[in-house]
Amino acid sequence: MAPMEKRVVFQNKFLPYLLVAPQLAITIIFFFWPASQAIVQSVLREDAFGTRSYFVGLENFIILFEDDYYLHSFQITALFSSLVTTIGLSLSLFLAVTADRLVRGTTAYKTLLIWPYAVAPAVAGALWGFVFLPGPGVLAYVLEQAGIDWNFQLNGGQAMFVVVVAATWKQISYNFLFFLAGLQSVPKSLIEAAAIDGAGPIRRFWTIIMPLLSPTLFFLIVVNVVYAFFDTFGVIHSLTRGGPAKATEVLVYKVWYDGFEAQDLGGSSAQSVILMVIVIALTVVQFRYIERKVHY
Amino acid sequence: MKSTGKLARTALALLGGTAVAISASGAWAQDNRIELQWWHAMSGALNERVNEIAEGFNKGQDKYKIIAVNKGSYPETLTAAMAAFRAGKGPHIVQVFEVGTGTMMASRAAIKPVYEIMSQNGFKFDPGSYLSAVTGYYSTSDGKMLSYPFNSSTPVMYYNKDAFQKAGLDPNKPPKTWQEFEPVLKKLKASGSTCPFQTNWQTWIQLENFSALHNVPFASKSNGFDGFDTELKFNSPLHVRHITTLANWMKEGLMVYGGRKNEANAKFISGECAIHMESSGGYASFSRGAKFKWGMQMLPYYSDVQGAPQNSIIGGASLWVLGKHKPAEYKGVAQFFDYLSATENQVWWHKNTGYLPITTMAYETTKAQGYYNAHPGTEVPVQQMTLKPPTSNSKGLRLGNFVQIRDVMDEELEAVWSGKKSPKEALDTAVDRGNRLLRQFERDAKR
């Protein structure tokens, strides 16, 4: 750095703390406090009304890991999140690249592509549920005509397919927006220079656009993984309720089910603690290993 | 009236500050009635009926005021009540679905048993005047009523008479036994029906009520009434036989799976499905929606099983009283339950909702008024439920973690319908998984 660096220094020692205080307060009230509550609850068992509670050590965790369906839920979550993230990102990147190259009608396309983001998850679930409903559903009809025995309420694989479609569709708009903004910040001169040097569109995409887009891509990977882990609850709840036979019961759905339907707060809290650990670990891995490949 | 009061209060608050506003709103309160919160899960038309009950009670006396609040679905209402209780703001009365009974009983520090409230407040309470098939579900083994049976129903069979006619079957002779079912379903299919038979609430109807009707245990220890150390028993040869029969029918297109709850009602109303099993509470929507002749009939049974048909068990919900309220308020609650039990109110509720009456008097009165003759089929649920005096297998179910156990049964049954598991394998797994949930409940209850 240059020796003559200009720096603004706060004279008042307390002002900076005061300025970050609101943010800190929000973080403590809405993140640290609930998280600590979850940790406390996870070593307790109590009746549904909270009149009696007992410290049970790691019993809640032991019960979980003895449950085959909990381990099964891990696999389901891994499959679901990787599908939603990869399909969502590739599709929206493709759409963004295409929209970026458009000359006419760009605004119309952009608006249409951004729309799904405004749809609430439960509504998105209901919409896709109807489209795929055996009998009256439009796509269900097409699939039945194609000779497929379609009933996602009974077939686990088909149920997974439907929730992935709905969850991905919800997230495409968000990804699309960021990709499009990223693409528009790639200097035209670089692309033109490459074109003059004889690089075709595909070569230009991989050697120039992709590296310059990598910060956006990295950001979106993190956001999408978090989305697939947590925000897909509404879609799954309205489409399959985790079924059939737990085929779409992702971890966060089980947290909700055990806590609010089954009134098992201890078990539910233990799961949130595990989920918290997983997401922290995933984010650390992403920042340590994937971020290295990112060019800013 | 309301809006002017609000406006005036707001104006006062602005002018004179909080102190004035508080005293003013105190003066505005027209009566000093004791308010009693009643949280329930009745929506749509039933919500209106509930409001009418509250209104009727509030008009009939001037000491108490019932405030009925809809809190969403059954699980949502229960969760809301639990959260409010933890925060010291629990309702006086909360409507809890029958599968939550075990959970409520185990929370003994949070509830006030109904029999206690009634006797403490001097209301005479004669268990003999109630239909034991209804109250037994919510009473201790020695007949003490823990919660007040509010809306009770029992499953029955509905069938499309026009579809029977079309298939060359006698519309006034629906099959009475499971053995008689198969030829009927085949004829229906041959006549072009794409859905000869379907059932709602498969766990409640095809396993729980199936056990009661055949007088076989669903779980040990009198279906859980005699202790938390109960074990599930619904993988007996008779249960396996029944689920195998249903699975075969599905394979042959004689039966169609329509979901875990009552989603399949639509396919009966539209005329697509010929035979349909559903709660007696379905009567209202079928009489409004179905554009064909239909009939009601008791659930079928296997005629070679000794003692069958026994009697069916109920579903629905009951009213639980929560603890931590003042004695004067409990007095109001007792008076409200007394009001609910009055024969005229029972009859009104029975006729207007399709739910079952809970007192013998209410049943007799409805009958004497000629209601059952004017509305054929409406007596079937009561008759089926009171077919024989309940045995330890047909009093009801008292299981902890029952919400999850029902989901386990649903999952395993779906595995049978989709051909992934054999009926025996699925029922064994369901029993095993369910028993683990029961053991966990037992551990928690004993701590």
Best mutation target, A47, A63, A68, A155, to test chain B (most B CBs within 10 A): A47
Please tell me whether residues B80 and B228 are part of one structural domain.
no
Please tell me whether residues B277 and B176 are part of one structural domain.
yes
Cβ of residue A49 closer than 8 Å to a chain B Cβ: yes
The yes-or-no verdict on residue A1 having pLDDT over 80 is no
Cβ of residue B387 closer than 8 Å to a chain A Cβ: no
**Smallest CA–CA distance from B426 into chain A, residue:** A245
Q: Do B82 and A49 count as a contact with CB atoms less than 8 A apart?
A: yes
Q: Do B110 and A262 count as a contact with CB atoms less than 8 A apart?
A: no
CA–CA distance, B401 with B411 (Å, rounded to integer): 16
Summarised one tens digit per residue, pLDDT across range A171-206 is: 999 999 999 999 888 888 888 898 898 888 888 888
Query: For residue B285, what pLDDT is reported?
Result: 83
3-state class (DSSP) for residue B395: coil
Please tell me whether residues B144 and B44 are part of one structural domain.
yes
Chain B residues whose CB is inside 8 A of the A45 CB are 444, 447
Label residue A75 by pLDDT band (50, 70, 90): very high
The yes-or-no verdict on residue A135 having pLDDT over 80 is no
Q: Which domain holds residue B286?
A: 155-312+400-446
Please tell me whether residues B35 and B160 are part of one structural domain.
no
Query: For residue B293, what pLDDT is reported?
Result: 95
Least Cα separation, residue A167 to chain B (angstroms): 23
Least Cα separation, residue B258 to chain A (angstroms): 9
Summarised one tens digit per residue, pLDDT across range B170-189 is: 999 999 999 999 999 999 99
Please tell me whether residues B111 and B221 are part of one structural domain.
no
Cβ of residue B73 closer than 8 Å to a chain A Cβ: no
Q: Is B250 inside any structural domain?
A: yes
Summarised one tens digit per residue, pLDDT across range B323-373 is: 999 999 999 999 999 999 999 999 999 988 889 998 999 999 999 999 999
Q: Is B395 inside any structural domain?
A: no
Number of structural domains in chain B? 2
Q: Is B6 inside any structural domain?
A: no
Residues 6+ apart with CB under 8 A from A41: A265, A266, A268, A269
Query: For residue A134, what pLDDT is reported?
Result: 78
Q: Do A263 and B257 count as a contact with CB atoms less than 8 A apart?
A: no
Please tell me whether residues B147 and B160 are part of one structural domain.
no
Chain A residues whose CB is inside 8 A of the B420 CB are 245
The yes-or-no verdict on residue B24 having pLDDT over 70 is no
Label residue B38 by pLDDT band (50, 70, 90): very high
Please tell me whether residues B121 and B251 are part of one structural domain.
no
Check which CATH number belongs to the domain holding B202 and give it. Answer: 3.40.190.10
The yes-or-no verdict on residue A139 having pLDDT over 50 is yes
Summarised one tens digit per residue, pLDDT across range B70-97 is: 999 888 899 899 999 989 999 999 999 9
Cβ of residue B106 closer than 8 Å to a chain A Cβ: yes
Q: Is B384 inside any structural domain?
A: no
The yes-or-no verdict on residue B3 having pLDDT over 50 is no
Q: Is B296 inside any structural domain?
A: yes
Name the phi and psi angles at B312, rounded to 5.
Answer: -90, 165
What percent of chain B has a predicted confidence (pLDDT) above 70?
A: 93
Cβ of residue B432 closer than 8 Å to a chain A Cβ: no
The yes-or-no verdict on residue B244 having pLDDT over 50 is yes
CA–CA distance, A78 with B70 (Å, rounded to integer): 39
Which amino acid makes up residue A237? H
Counting one residue from A and one from B, how many pairs have CB atoms under 8 Å apart?
64
- Give the global pTM: 0.81
Cβ of residue A48 closer than 8 Å to a chain B Cβ: yes
Query: For residue B237, what pLDDT is reported?
Result: 97
Label residue B190 by pLDDT band (50, 70, 90): very high
Query: For residue A191, what pLDDT is reported?
Result: 86
Please tell me whether residues B280 and B308 are part of one structural domain.
yes
Q: Residue ranges per domain, chain A? A: 55-293
Furthest-apart CA atoms within chain A: distance in Å: 76
Please tell me whether residues B333 and B305 are part of one structural domain.
no
Cβ of residue B110 closer than 8 Å to a chain A Cβ: yes
Give the CA dihedral B399, B385, B407, B436, nearest 10 degrees: 30
Q: Residue B41 has what DSSP assignment?
A: -
Cβ of residue B79 closer than 8 Å to a chain A Cβ: yes
Please tell me whether residues B280 and B204 are part of one structural domain.
yes
At the topology level of CATH, where does A55-293 sit? MetI-like fold (1.10.3720)
Q: Is B99 inside any structural domain?
A: yes
Chain A residues whose CB is inside 8 A of the B445 CB are 47
Label residue A4 by pLDDT band (50, 70, 90): low
